[in-house]
Structure formats: C-alpha cells, structure tokens
Amino acid sequence: MIIGLFNDWVVVVLMMIGLYIVIAHGNLIKKLVGLSIFQTSVYIFYISMAKVEGGSAPILAESIKQFSNPLPHVLILTAIVVGIATTALGLALVVRIKEAYGSVEEEDIQHLDNQTQTESPKKVLEGDQA
Amino acid sequence: MKDLFSVVMLLGIYSLLSASFFVAMDAVDVAFTEAAVGAGISTLLMLVVITMTGRSEKTTRHKPMLALLVVVFTGGVLIYGTFDMPYFGLADAPIHNHVSPRYINDSMQEIGIPNIVTSVLASYRAFDTFGEVVVIFTAGIGVLALLSVVRRPEDSDKITAINDSMHERYLVIRIVTKILLPFILLFALYVQFHGDFGPGGGFQAGVIFAAAIILYTMLFGLNTARKVINQSFIQFIAAVGVLLYGCVGLVSLLNGGNFFDYNVLTNDPIVGQHIGILIIELGVGCTVASVMIIIFFNFAGRREMQQHNKKVHSSDLESL
Amino acid sequence: MISHLPVLQVIVPLMAAPLCLLLRRAQLVWLFALLASSLAFLISILLLQQVMTSGVISYELGGWEAPWGIEYRIDKLNAFLLLIITAISTVVLIAAQTSIEKEIPKEKHTLFYILYLLSLTGMLGIVSTGDAFNVFVFLEISSLSAYALIALGNDRRALWASYQYLIMGTIGATFILIGIGLMYQMTGTLNMEDLSQRLPQVAQTRTVFTAFVFVIVGVCLKLALFPLHLWLPNAYAYAPSIVTVFFAATATKVAIYLLIRFTFTVFGLSFSFTTLPLQGLFLTLGLAGIFVASSAAIYQKNVKHIFAYSSIAQVGYIIVGISTSTVMGLTATLLHLFNHALMKSAIFLALGAVVYRLGTIQLSSFHGLGRQMPLTMAAVTIGGLSLIGVPLTVGFVSKWYLLIALIEKGWWLVAILILLGSLLAVVYVWRIVEAAYFKEPLAGSMPVKEAPMLFLIPIWTLIIANIYFGLDTRLSVQVAQSAAQGLFGVSP
C-alpha cells in the first residue's frame, strides 16, 4: 500500500507547495512560479497514472507487447501548451503592472489602489504614448 | 528565497527534472515538450521579465496562516482521495482497460503510423489539439495586445546604437551560435516530420525553431532580428497556421465526412490519415513557432523601450 | 450541411478570428466579426429548432465514435445556452465599434475583435462539447482571451484585476483538470455520457468523491459563487465597457452551465444530491451570496461596481434554484440564466453609453443625467426594475418560478428571504434612479448629449426583449422547462 500510493502522495505534496506559494507570496512573479509548480505537478500526476509496470513508450514496434497508456500523454501535451500560454500572458500582465504601479508586490499595489479610490480615477501610463 | 533569479533557475531545474521523470514513465513526447517549454521558453521569459521588474522580493508576507489552512485542507482532500486509487503501475487499472486498448491495438490499421501518441493527438482527438493551437494563438494575440509598442524610426536608430555597442562583445559565442543555428533549424524540421515515427511533432518542432530565432535575437540584438523576420509576416504565419489546421477539417466536411475525418481526404483512408496528420502538424508547427517568436519579440521590445525611456529621462535631467 | 451544424457553431467564430488578423483594417474587422457572430446566432436558432423537434444531436468529430474520439452533444440545455450566448454577442458587437473608439487605443482595435471572437469561441466550445477534457481546453481559450480583454481597460486597476482573475481562473481550471484526471483514473473514459454510465459503479470510492469536490470548487471559482467571488467586481468594473457587457451576460452563465452539466449529467442526480450535502451547501452559499453581495452593492460609488455586485447576488438566486433539485427549481434557474443575460446586458450597455459620453462612471456624475440622456437612463431604469423583479419584466417571470419552486418544496423561510433580497435590489437601483432624475447636475459640469444611434439600437433591442419575454413567456418557459425535464430524465 505504501509503495502503491507513494507516487501520488509525492505529487500531492508538490501540488500543495505550488498552491501555497500562489496564495501566500506577495510577489507577482513568484505567484506565477508557484502556479507553474502547481501545474507541473498535475502533469506528473497524469503521467504517473499512465504507467504500466513492464510497459514501454507507446511507439509501436515488433518486439514490444506491453505499452504504457498513451491517452494521458496526449492530454498533458495539451495541458503543457495551455500552461505556457497562461504563464506568458501572466508575465505580460506583470510587465504592464510594473509600468503602471512601479511595483510588483501585492501589498504596494493594494496600497496604491486604496489611495486612488478616493481620488478621480487615473489613466494608465500607456507606454505607447511615452 | 528572496532572490528571484535563483527562484526562476530552480523552477527551470524542477521542470527539467520532471521531464526526466516523464522519460522514466515512458512519456517521451511529453518529456520532450516539458524540457523545451518548461525548462526552456518559460524560464527564459521569466528571466526577461525579472530584468524589467527587479530581481529581489520584498520580505513581507500576508496571511500565511490562511494559505496554510487552504493548502492543508486541499491536500487533505486529495490524500483522502488517493486511498481508493488503483495502485501505481498496475496493468488492470480501469484506465488501461476501457478506452486506450483500442488506441494501442488498432491504431496501426486505422491510422497507420507507429507513434500512438501522435495518432491519438492528431486524429482520434484532433479537436483537442486544434483547441490547443487556438489557446497558443490566443496567448500570442493577448501578449500583442498588452505589450506591443508602436515604434518611431528615430527611436529605433538610437536603440540600434545602444544595441550595437552591447553586442560587439561575446565574439566567441556569436561565432559558435552562427555555426550552430543551421543545425538547430534542421533539427526542428526533422522533429516536425519525424513525429509519426518517434517522439516529436509540430509543437516540439515549433518550439525548437522559435528557440533558434530567440538565440539569434539575444546575441545579435532585436533590431537585427527584426530585419530578418518582419513583424507582420510572423503574425501572418501565426494566423495561417490556425487556418491551415481548420481548413483540413473544412475540406473533410466538403468531402462528405465529419469535421477532421481524414479518411475522406483521399480514396485510400490510410493515405488520407497520413496527409491529414502531416498538414495539421505543419499548421501546429507554424503557429507555435511564430507565436513563441511574437511573445519573445514583444517582451524584448518592451524592455528595450523601457531602457530607452530611462536613458532619455536621465539625459533630460543632465541637460537641466 | 445541416448535419454539421454542431461543429460549425464553434468553427465559424474560431476561423473568423485568425482571418481578422489577416484583414487588419479595424472597420473591416468589425463588420467581419459582426457577420461571424450573426452567422453563429443563426446556427444556434437552427440547432435549437432541430433539438426541440428531434431530440439530442450527437456529432462525432473526426468520424471516431464516442468514447475514443471527441463527441459534440447538443441537447435542449446546450442549445438554449448557445442561443443566449450568440444572441447577446451579436447585439453587443453592434455597439462595440463606437464604444471602444473612446476606450481603447486605435492600433489595438483589431486585436480587440480577435480576442472577442476567441472568447466567444471558447464559450461556445465549452457548451457544445460532450467530452470532459475538451471542456478544459475551451475553458482556457475563453479565459485567456478574457484576461487579455479585461487588461485592455483604461484604468491601471484593470491590469491588477486581470492579474487577480488570471491567478484565480488558473487555479480553478487546474482544479477542474485534477478532477477530470481523477474521474478518468477511476473510469478510463473522458466522454461525459460514458462517464455518467460508468461512475455509478465506482460512486462509493473516496477518489470519486474527491474528483467531485475538485470539479465543483473549480467551477465555482469561475462562477464567482460567494465566497469565491473576490475577483469579479474589479474585473467587471475596470474592463472596457463592451467587455463588461459581454462577460456579465455570458461568462458566468457558461460556468453555471458547467455546474449543472457536471452535477446533473456526469455525476448524476442521486450522487450529487443524496450522497453529498450539496443541497444544503448550495442553499446556504446562494442565500449568503444574495445578501452579502446586495448589501455590498448598496455602498458602492462606481455604478459598474454596483451592478457587478448585483451579478454576484443574481448568481445566488440561480444557485438557490439549483439547490431545490426539482424540475420546477431548475426551470427557474434556466429561465433566470436567460433573463439575467437580457437585463444585465441592457444595463451594462447603457452604462457603456454613459462612459462614452462622460468618460466616467461614478455615481456622482449621474446627477441630472435623466434629462440629458433620457433614452439611456430610461433603459437603465427598466433594466433595474427587471432586476428587482417587477411584474411585466422578465425578472418577474424567473423570480415567480423560483418562488413557486420553493413553496412546492415547502421552504417558506427561503422564499421569504428571497423576497427580502429583492428589497435590497430596490435600494441600489433606487440610488441610481435618484441620482439620475432627482438631483441637479453638478455645478460646472458640461452638458451631455444623448448616446449615439449605434448604442441606442442594441440597448433598446435588449430592453424590448426584456419586456417582451416578460409578457409572452411561452417560448422561454417552454424551452427551459423541457431542458430541465431532460436533465431529470423525465420525458416531456
């Protein structure tokens, strides 16, 4: 039992480390790092359920009879692409937030927002016109 | 850890390690992709962003208790869920006995290529892959919408001057890169067209192709790279990739089959499958490569503009 | 071609998006996007007709039969949702060009339409598909484009709101991914229909329980169900007006669709509502959502914030409808999906017109607007009345059905609480009406003109729909009722 589920438990721990970073840390880049760890751990979870003892990579060949399950591999290929797409967009947002607020710390940004709440809304400093 | 640079490098190492884990778990295609994307592109992008936003994190943390609570609770539910899971590696687990046996046993007769992952990806579940291409296209458009800079010619002249001075150094690396580049591009093409037989395919090939261009850009400056690859041309390619993929589906509609039914593309279903997979992989490759390049160019362009503005700003101060 | 309608529904806006990038000229792209959206609307009408007469349509993508390939499965529920989404999207697009002219830099207009179409594609894909993993892929298409669209907003807080949404949305999507993985691990299939047949055999396992929890929590994050709603108000308030209209009317609806689909079809009614305490949980969260969000709405200064909080409250009503787990309650829920889409899109579009003329959306700047922009303000007022649930508007119809469902169930207390919740809506709507009609314009403020025609036409189309479907309930009630019966497995 310990051996049979050991893999899953490691994955759960990794996932939770990622999730903890996302929630607890105030630095926007670090949040994205945490999100990446979270997602990568999910990939590991999918891939490890595809493994068959004694199986080999799902590429057909004469001598091999037992293969690991190809379907989770396909799903995770898609999920990796989704992951990089999210990361790229998140980073683009971080760059713009840095330009607009001058900081990438959650605390500073919320502080600045509370200040402007009372004043009239400011326009974003568009880099394009600069 | 407060230094974001080491955080990002560690993330890269984590990705690389999980990629090697994927190899051990027989998922060679996934490992390939994870190594190229997780350890390569995403680490690179994060590093570029760190150069713009500063590399150290503030020490203060908020609500670690709340986070801990959420995490422990979620983790607890997950661990609870694992108790009834089939054990690792058992061949009689339900996933190995319901849908996937058909892929393993029949894909040779139905599709006719040895790499089962490619068969499933490009034919049985072609629509998922289409969705994936659209996701990456969306990310490209999103980054364009957020970061694209309208440049004026006089600005770019000044920027070129800065760049040239910067890139005069590193002579050895530049020469080595110049020698390596054709091989990287060639490898990308090999991966693109060899996906039917071994690990690889449009996505991995696109990333490798983009990596070659990005390497060139890093060493020879953004402006030189822009001269080689026109911005609107690369956007055109990104759109064409998606359209190419979609058109395969539309052609099969016109030939009387369902969407993405490659059997009707030609008289011989197996040949039809081959043609269909070839074209959609090409579409995937085009879109992925060009979107990766778009994303990198826009990040780098934004960075260049920031540095330029800073320079102008400081020279203004001096003249005062 | 008629047999390919399910896939064309999604493919038309999808293929239109990259074509827009090739067209480049913003004016042309607008017309093209409008054309694509209207075509999708037409297809959805045909689909609904087909489903109502001949039952469920199944479409096998790639010609591979269901559990091996991806299946599109259109029943009455999907067809109804498809109709709502495409209808709203088309009407909203009419006003888009005028609205973004003031709010988004010119060189980004083309990108805006592309993202809009992609977002539409994502939502249509989620609703049409019968494959659990395909849901995840299209969910990401719609979310990624949503993040980018929100970040196009004028205020720098739009960026921050978009980032928060990205983090929450990605966590939600990853939770759904974990849930799907667990389900797949226990059954070996990803097809929803197949899942619903194979899950009952393993329903007693702890793994399936965990899968259910993760899917529901993930969907509720997307849905902005109280207390997971924190990302929504700012995202709605600082996004470009058109984006707010589109998302307020459709995005949460799609998430609710997913919730209904997973609880009723995939996991099955008996598992969701008898094995688990979902009923009590939904009821509590729904009611809490109504009261907390409505009270929060009363204290907002930004009018977009008021209606964003009101959206969270409306989600509460919808969830209460689901929690009854009766045909009547679900009918009320589905009706409210339709009605809420109509009223919120009308209101937010009118607010978009105000932004177009005034450039700001603070409550204080509404003073005296009742005389200066009479048609726009009348639209806001009628929309507000509908939100409260005044007779002769659509809001009344769905509230009425919800009350009947609750009384049938014997939940008198809940029914009274729902009525009290509506009173809170009276308060926040009144604040706007008061500002617009009973306050003098601020000294020194510029006189403003009525909104341009390209705004008024879609706004009043929606308002007329609000009144029409409030009077003639045959169509909407019939579809909602038979969709609800379909989910309960009762033959109509």
Query: Is pLDDT of B2 > 90?
Result: no
C-alpha Rg value of chain B to the nearest Å? 24
pLDDT the model gives residue B93: 81
Confidence at A128, pLDDT banded by 50, 70, 90: very low
Contacts of A128 (CB under 8 A, 6+ apart): B149, B150, C105, C107
Confidence at A130, pLDDT banded by 50, 70, 90: very low
A68: left (phi over 0), alpha (psi -120 to 50) or beta: beta
Tokens of A85: 């797409």
Nearest-CA distance C364 → chain A (Å)? 11
pLDDT the model gives residue C441: 76
Nearest to A23 among B58, B70, B103 (CB): B70
Query: Is pLDDT of C451 > 60?
Result: yes
Nearest-CA distance B175 → chain A (Å)? 30
Q: What one-character DSSP code corresponds to residue C362?
A: B
Residues C17 and C124: beta-carbon distance below 8 Å: no
Inter-chain touch B141–C68, beta carbons under 8 Å: no
pLDDT the model gives residue A66: 79
pLDDT the model gives residue B8: 92
Q: Which of C373, C371, C348, C345 has the alpha carbon at shortest distance from C358?
A: C373
> What's the CA gap between B246 and B238, in Å, rounded?
13
Tokens of A36: 């990446």
Inter-chain touch A125–C177, beta carbons under 8 Å: no
Q: A107-111, B163-167, C198-202, C463-467: lowest mean pLDDT where?
A: B163-167
Q: What one-character DSSP code corresponds to residue A121?
A: P
% of residues, chain C, pLDDT over 70? 98
CATH, residue A102: 1.10.287.3510
Enumerate the domain spans of chain B.
112-310
| Mean pLDDT on C101-118 | 91
Name beta bridge partners: B115.
A59
Which residues in chain A have their CB less than 8 angstroms from residue B75's CB? 12-13, 15-16
B307 versus C412: the higher-pLDDT residue is C412
pLDDT the model gives residue B59: 65
Domain assignment of residue A111, yes or no: yes
Domain assignment of residue A10, yes or no: yes
Domain assignment of residue C269, yes or no: no
Nearest-CA distance B171 → chain A (Å)? 31
pLDDT the model gives residue C176: 95
pLDDT tens-place string over residues B289-304: 999 999 999 998 888 8
pLDDT the model gives residue A125: 36
**In angstroms, how far apart are the furthest CA atoms of chain C?**
72
| Mean pLDDT on C210-219 | 92
Query: Is pLDDT of A127 > 50?
Result: no
Residue among A60, A106, A125, A126 with most chain B CBs within 10 A, to mutate: A60
Highest mean pLDDT among B198-207, B248-257, C76-85, C217-226: C76-85
Q: A77 in contact with B at a CB cutoff of 8 Å? A: yes
The continuous run of DSSP H or E covering B143 comes out as helix B126-147
Number of A:B CB contacts under 8 A? Answer: 274
Q: In whole angstroms, how far apart are CA C312 and each of C225, C247, C282, C292? A: 7, 13, 14, 9
Query: Is pLDDT of C263 > 70?
Result: yes
C19 versus A128: the higher-pLDDT residue is C19
Inter-chain touch A43–B34, beta carbons under 8 Å: yes
Q: In whole angstroms, how far apart are CA C462 and each of C87, C317, C339? A: 10, 22, 11
Inter-chain touch A71–B15, beta carbons under 8 Å: no
Confidence at B310, pLDDT banded by 50, 70, 90: confident
Confidence at B244, pLDDT banded by 50, 70, 90: very high
Inter-chain touch A33–B299, beta carbons under 8 Å: no
Confidence at B161, pLDDT banded by 50, 70, 90: low
% of residues, chain C, pLDDT over 90? 56
Contacts of B239 (CB under 8 A, 6+ apart): B137, C18, C19, C21, C22
- Closest-CA residue in chain B for C205? B84
Domain assignment of residue A55, yes or no: no
pLDDT tens-place string over residues C49-102: 999 988 889 998 888 887 888 999 998 999 999 999 999 999 999 999 888 888
Which residues in chain A have their CB less than 8 angstroms from residue B100's CB? 69-71
C389: left (phi over 0), alpha (psi -120 to 50) or beta: left
Inter-chain touch A48–B61, beta carbons under 8 Å: no
Q: Which of B134, B128, B131, B123 has the alpha carbon at shortest distance from B277?
A: B123
Domain assignment of residue A122, yes or no: no
pLDDT the model gives residue B202: 86
C57 phi/psi in degrees, rounded to 5: -105, 130
pLDDT tens-place string over residues A9-57: 888 999 999 999 888 888 899 999 999 999 999 999 999 888 887 777 8
Inter-chain touch A81–B37, beta carbons under 8 Å: yes
Q: Which of C213, C73, B95 has the alpha carbon at shortest distance from A75?
A: B95
Q: How many domains does chain C have?
A: 1
Domain assignment of residue C27, yes or no: no
B239 phi/psi in degrees, rounded to 5: -65, -40
Q: In whole angstroms, how far apart are CA B316 and each of B158, B309, B313, B319? A: 15, 10, 5, 5
Which residues in chain A have their CB less than 8 angstroms from residue B28's CB? 57, 59
> What's the CA gap between C397 and C342, in Å, rounded?
13
Number of A:C CB contacts under 8 A? Answer: 89
Query: Is pLDDT of C334 > 70?
Result: yes
Q: C115 in contact with B at a CB cutoff of 8 Å? A: yes
pLDDT the model gives residue B164: 56
Confidence at B155, pLDDT banded by 50, 70, 90: low
Inter-chain touch A74–B37, beta carbons under 8 Å: no
Which residues in chain C have their CB less than 8 angstroms from residue B238's CB? 18, 21
> What's the CA gap between C400 and B39, in Å, rounded?
56
Nearest to B126 among C62, C138, C145 (CB): C62
| Mean pLDDT on B1-5 | 81
pLDDT the model gives residue C457: 92
- What is the rounded average pLDDT for all residues in chain B? 85
Inter-chain touch C163–A90, beta carbons under 8 Å: yes
Query: Is pLDDT of A129 > 60?
Result: no
Whether the bond into C227 is cis, omega within 30 of 0: yes
Residues C127 and C269: beta-carbon distance below 8 Å: no
Nearest to A88 among B4, B64, B139 (CB): B139
For residue C419, what are the domain limits?
277-492
pLDDT the model gives residue B151: 64
> What's the CA gap between C153 and C162, in Å, rounded?
9
pLDDT tens-place string over residues A57-84: 888 877 777 788 889 999 999 999 999 9
Q: How many domains does chain A have?
A: 1
Inter-chain touch A67–B34, beta carbons under 8 Å: no
Indicate the burial class of C269 (C-beta count within 10 angstroms; 0-12, 13-18, 19 or more).
middle
A81 versus B160: the higher-pLDDT residue is A81
For residue A100, what are the domain limits?
2-50+67-115
Q: A81 in contact with B at a CB cutoff of 8 Å? A: yes
Q: What one-character DSSP code corresponds to residue C302?
A: B
Domain assignment of residue A121, yes or no: no
% of residues, chain B, pLDDT over 90? 28
Tokens of C215: 């899917």
pLDDT the model gives residue B46: 92
C-alpha Rg value of chain A to the nearest Å? 22
Q: C140 in contact with A at a CB cutoff of 8 Å? A: yes
Query: Is pLDDT of C11 > 90?
Result: yes
3-state secondary structure of B60: coil
Domain assignment of residue C115, yes or no: no
Which residues in chain C have their CB less than 8 angstroms from residue A94's CB? 163
pLDDT the model gives residue A31: 92
Contacts of C26 (CB under 8 A, 6+ apart): C97, C106, C109, C110, C113
3-state secondary structure of C72: strand
The continuous run of DSSP H or E covering C401 comes out as helix C394-409
Domain assignment of residue A107, yes or no: yes
Nearest-CA distance C303 → chain A (Å)? 14
The continuous run of DSSP H or E covering C394 comes out as helix C394-409
Question: Of chain A residues 29-68, which have a CB less than 8 A from chain B?
Answer: 29-30, 32-33, 36-37, 40, 43-44, 47-61, 66-68
Which residues in chain C have their CB less than 8 angstroms from residue B103's CB? 68
| Mean pLDDT on C216-237 | 88
Inter-chain touch A35–C181, beta carbons under 8 Å: no
Neighbours of chain A (3+ CB pairs under 8 A): B, C
Tokens of C232: 């929504």
pLDDT the model gives residue B264: 85
pLDDT tens-place string over residues C147-204: 999 999 888 899 999 999 999 999 999 999 999 999 998 888 999 989 988 888 888 8
Which residues in chain C have their CB less than 8 angstroms from residue A49's CB? 181, 184-185
| Mean pLDDT on B132-153 | 87
Domain assignment of residue A87, yes or no: yes
pLDDT tens-place string over residues C349-395: 999 998 898 888 888 888 888 888 889 999 999 999 999 988 888 98
Question: Of chain C residues 164-203, which have a CB less than 8 A from chain B?
Answer: 178, 182, 184-190, 198, 202
Q: B64 in contact with A at a CB cutoff of 8 Å? A: yes
Inter-chain touch C209–B81, beta carbons under 8 Å: yes
Inter-chain touch B236–C141, beta carbons under 8 Å: no
Query: Is pLDDT of B3 > 90?
Result: no
Query: Is pLDDT of B240 > 90?
Result: yes
